[in-house]
Amino acid sequence: MSEKPEEPKKPSEKPEELKKLAAIAGDLKLPAKMRIDAIEQLGEIATHEALLVLLDLAANEGLFTKERDLALKKAREVIKKTSP
């Protein structure tokens, strides 16, 4: 089962996508798998804005430790990707 690579998003679409992913990642009513997938997708976006969202999730004491650790790991990866 191969997936088509997504086309790059227009800059105007990025903030909305980030908001949606942040809402999913922080919603404890949703299944853990869905929250983890949202965190993973935020890491793939790899922008400064996504980094800030990931750091916010890592600081969210309401999330489970595993999810906070994943958000911090993805934030580190974004820093590495975006560093000169």
> In sequence order, which residues have a C-beta less than 8 Å from that of residue 27 and are 6 or more positions away?
35
On whether the pTM is more than 0.75, the answer is yes
| pLDDT tens digits, one per residue of 4-56 | 445 444 444 578 999 999 999 999 999 999 999 999 999 999 899 999 999 99
Burial of 12 (0-12, 13-18, 19+ CB in 10 A): exposed
Pick the more confident residue, 6 or 74: 74
Domains in the chain, CATH or no CATH each: 13-82 (1.25.10)
Identify the pLDDT of residue 48: 92
- Of 15 and 62, which is predicted with more confidence? 62
Separation of alpha carbons 43 and 29, rounded Å: 22
Task: Give pLDDT, residue 14.
Answer: 76
